[in-house]
Every structure is written in C-alpha cells, then in structure tokens.
Amino acid sequence: MTTGGWAITGLASIAPVTWGTTYLVTTQWLPPDRPLLSGVLRALPAGLIALLIARRLPTGVWWWRMAALGTLNIGAFFVLLFVAAYRLPGGVAATLSAAQPLIVAGLAVALLRERPSRWRLGWAVMGVAGIALMVLRGRLGFDPVGLAAGFAGTAVMAAGTVLTKRWGRPSGVGVLAFTGWQLTAGGLLIAPLALAVEGLPPRLDAPALGGYAWLSLVGTGLAYTLWFTGLARLPVTAMSFLPLLSPVVAAALGWLVLGQSLTAIQLLGFGLAMVSISAAQLNSNQHLLARFTGKS
C-alpha cells in the first residue's frame, strides 16, 4: 500500500475507534432502555448539520438509493446496535460484530465481483478469534433478542458497506453531502418508530446530553464522513476489517475507565485482532505482499 493509502486507512480507522466508545457511553450516561431514541439523537442532528453545511439534496435515482443506504448504514444499524448494547454484555456484542469481514467477503463476491483472497479470509477468521479471546470472559448473558439484534446489525452494516462501494457517490457530490443524506434518512426512519414504541423522550441530564453530543457529532458526523471517504478509495474487503477496532477500543476503555482487568489471554486476543487488521491491508498491493512473503 502506498503512503497515501496508509494515510487514508488511518483516517478511516478513526471511525471505528469512535464507534468503540458507544458501549461505554450507552451504559454509563444515556437513559436506560431507549435504543430508538438513542438512534434518532445520534443520527438526525449530525445529518441535519451536514445538510446545512453542504446545501445539496439528492436528485433522480439517488433519492431511493439514499433511502436504502440510510436504512442499512444508519437507521436499521443504529437501532440494532443500541438494542444489542442495552441487552448484551459488551463482549458478546463485540464478537458478533467481528464477523463483518466474513459477511462482507461473501457480499463482495455477489455484488462487486471482488473475490477476497485466502490471505484475507484467513485473517478474518483470526480477527474473530482475537476478539473472542479479548472480550468473552467470565459468565456471559445470552439474551436471544440481543443476540439477534447484534448479528442483524452486523449483517445490515456489511450490506450497506458493500452497496455504498457499488453505487459510489453521484458525480460532483462531496462526501459531506453524501454523509448528510444518509444520516438524515436514517434518523427520519427511526423518529416515528421511537415515538410510537418509546413515547416522548425523558428529561435528559447533563451526562446524557454530553453522551448524545459525543455520539452524534464525533461518533457519527465526523466518523461517517471519514468512513465514506475511505470506502470510496480502498478495497471494501480491506475496509471491512477496520470495525474490529471497535471492540478493541471498548475493551481498552473498560480497563482504563471502568477498572476492568485484562488477562494474558485477552492481551493475546488484542494482538491477534490488531495483526489481522494490519495484515488485511497489505493484500491491496500484490507487489508489497510478494515482497512481504519473500516471493519474487
């Protein structure tokens, strides 16, 4: 990978790093049992701010494409993510999300004709194993609704990632407008559902307001702008490994902020996850891979 490619990868990695704070913020500062409200307040403010800055709306076929991408990347994904965060231990939810590279690999073959190499498939399995070693510890709660939500969330994000790569962006449309379209569409999708199921929002205290501000402005607005920038320039199968950073960050925050201990097995899992993410990026340049393996 060229220096520019590594720079784009580094910027795109900021997105899953900020997504890794979601579990901590949700459990420590947000009002309990409000996954739909959390989805709305994470997506809609960031989307509207992006639209106000970009001052551009979709045209033609992009109206329904943005509805589809907004549903997959934002609306359905956020709801399922928060349901899993409320109902599952972070380790279980994180391990389900680690399956994303394998799901993306299958969808990439069907929709993009992008066949993943054995190298990347092998590291995808190693990444799942690393996350499992790192975050699955102690007694686990396997809530069936939470499990279904966690796996479905991983699947819809994988589908949204592949479709975003397939469709690209309209000619002349910047990434900020493209991000704002999807965030707004996703937020508007969740809003009526939140009112119907959860009722009016509760009174929010200062920690909740701060948590929502962080998740919306940084963990969504900035993160998805960087994510879609990387997705436009990097192979989708390589990008699919970057979300493995989220459970790594979640575990690190549990250790730093909540005082959770890390065992030798968990540190081994941390190392496997980080190696799998890095190794998956090498395959985007066959000459570099050949040099890395010692082949001419």
Distance CA 251, CA 265 (A): 13
- Distance between CA atoms of 276 and 135, rounded to whole angstroms? 16
pLDDT tens-place string over residues 6-53: 788 889 999 989 988 887 898 889 998 888 999 999 999 999 999 999
Residue 61's H or E segment, with its range, is: none
Q: How many Cα neighbours within 13 Å face the side chain of 59?
A: 5
The residue with greater pLDDT, 153 or 141, is 153
| Confidence at residue 119, expressed as pLDDT on a 0 to 100 scale | 66
* Residues 90-95, mean pLDDT to the nearest whole number: 60
> pLDDT value at position 2?
61
pLDDT given for residue 238 in this prediction: 75
Amino acid at residue number 199: G
For 162-217, what is each residue's pLDDT tens digit?
899 889 999 999 999 999 999 999 999 999 999 999 999 999 999 999 999 999 99
**Whole-number average pLDDT of the chain:** 81
The residues near 88 (Cβ < 8 Å, ≥ 6 apart) are 141, 142, 143, 146, 147, 150
The one-letter amino acid code at 104 reads V
Q: Is the pLDDT of residue 74 over 80?
A: yes
Mean pLDDT of 260-268: 69
- Quick one: what percent of the chain has pLDDT higher than 90? 36
Q: Which residue has the higher pLDDT, 145 or 288?
A: 145
Residue 288 pLDDT class (50, 70, 90 cuts): very low
Q: What is the per-residue burial (b if ≥16 Cβ within 10 Å, else e) of 136-170?
A: bbeeeeebeebbebbbbbbbbbbbbbbbbbeeebb
pLDDT of residue 56: 94
The share of the chain scoring above pLDDT 70, in percent, equals 74
Most confident of 14-18, 123-127, 185-189, 292-296: 185-189
When pLDDT is averaged across residues 85-93 and rounded to a whole number, the result is 65
| pLDDT(292) > 50 | no
Q: What CA–CA distances, in Å, run from 124 to 25, 130, 269, 283?
A: 28, 10, 13, 13
146 pLDDT higher than 70: yes
pLDDT confidence of residue 209? 96
Q: Which residue has the tokens 């809609």?
A: 44
Higher pLDDT, 264 or 53: 53
pLDDT at 256: 80
The amino acid occupying position 266 is Q
The rounded distance, in Å, linking the Cα atoms of 253 and 259 is 9
pLDDT over threshold 80, residue 93? no
Measured CA to CA, the distance from residue 43 to residue 185 in angstroms comes to 9
Alpha carbon of 60 to those of 15, 30, 52, 63, 185: distances in Å?
29, 39, 20, 6, 16
The answer to whether the beta carbons of residues 109 and 64 sit under 8 Å apart is no
pLDDT computed for residue 285 by the predictor: 47
- For residue 262, what are the CA distances in angstroms to 117, 138, 254, 269? 33, 12, 9, 10
pLDDT at position 108 is 72
